[in-house]
Amino acid sequence: MSAFAAAPPFSAPLWLKTGHLQTAYTGLFWTPPPLPALMRCDIPVDADNQNQVRCLLNRSHDRPAAVLVILVHGLEGHAEVPYMLSTARKLLSQGLDVLRMNLRGCGQTQHLSRTSYHAGLSGDVRAVAEYAAAQLGYEQIVLAGYSLGGHQVLKLATEWTSPPAWLKGLCAVSPPLDLAHTSHNLLRLENRGYERYFFRLMLASYRARRRLWPEVTPLEPLARVHSLLDFDQYITGPQFGYRDAQDYYTQNSVGPHLGKITLPVQIILAQDDPIVPFSSHQAVMGQAAPSVRWLLSREGGHVAFVNSPLAAKQDRDAMWSENRLLDFVAGVCEAA
């Protein structure tokens, strides 16, 4: 069976022809319309006995829909970032319900979590999914993660060897598969702008958490932290019991474990993604389970995929990865 799935064509417009332009545009300048305020509620979910995550439930009707899609954002994002809002709007327009998950401490929720998130905390996603099934009553659920959130979703798929019947499939957009490779890729000169951007956000988040949880956010490591790699070396790794950054990366990277997946999985990736190296996906494609399918495009950047007007005419609209998520949900769920 082929590891690659078919889809309508993607061709970046001339003004967004490189991965850097696609990534910068959607990350910094693109503002989708807001979601309707009706039929929304905030839901706190216990990740464990010391940490809560805040989720935002949007319903397409005044009663639960047949299908719920849970969206998980990326590094230093939150439930209200543009790609989460735009995707949620499209899903709602198709009669699907959406639960947008904030990772630990994200979206102004530092007070709810004693610790921060990291790429391997798949248990938090599992807690949210189980809550949606048991407490909200959804019988068909699809998980969709972006970048680091996509890694968490994929890691959960490798761990859930006997998944519940209500979990129909998982989609990951621009996910890292090799955390060490991705971290070092961000240190390359042409990618330092992204590294600096995320690094400053992570430092600000750490300092904000320190005001609330000083006993678990010591100041001493900050004197040695000058990059994202340093942050994982001296803060993320030790905080979660790993020896260092490399130990954290090795124990959590999902790439070597894709062969354990039993659920339908769709991975969407652009070969010109400046943050996640395409070579890290190539290295593990042959080891993945038959249920794992890649949707690859030459262009598209990182969590971007803005299509050209001509190619968009063969699709629902210009937002290519959103449309592929819709196709995936329709393919794995009844009455979607």
| pLDDT tens per residue across span 193-237 | 999 999 999 999 999 999 999 999 999 999 999 999 999 999 999
How far apart CA 161 and CA 167 sit, in angstroms, is 12
For residue range 273-303, list pLDDT tens digits in order.
Answer: 999 999 999 999 999 999 999 999 999 999 9
Strand order in the sheet with 52-58: 40-46, 52-58, 97-101, 68-72, 141-146, 167-173, 265-270, 292-297
Are 174 and 270 spatial neighbours (Cβ–Cβ below 8 Å)?
Answer: yes
* Non-local CB neighbours of 302 within 8 Å, separated by 6+ positions: 19, 22, 23, 27, 147, 174, 270, 273, 274, 275, 276
- Catalogue all structural domains in the chain, each as residue range(s) with its CATH number: 14-178+257-332 (3.40.50.1820), 179-252 (no CATH)
Paired strand residues for 99: 57, 70
- pLDDT score of 88: 97
- pLDDT score of 63: 87
* Non-local CB neighbours of 33 within 8 Å, separated by 6+ positions: 85, 89
- pLDDT score of 161: 85
- pLDDT score of 39: 79
> What stretches in the chain show pLDDT beneath 50?
1-2
- pLDDT score of 335: 58
The HSE-up count of residue 203 (CA atoms within 13 Å, CB side) is: 16
How far apart CA 334 and CA 336 sit, in angstroms, is 5
Question: Which single residue is written with the structure tokens 């850097």?
Answer: 20
pTM for the full predicted model? 0.97
- pLDDT score of 3: 74
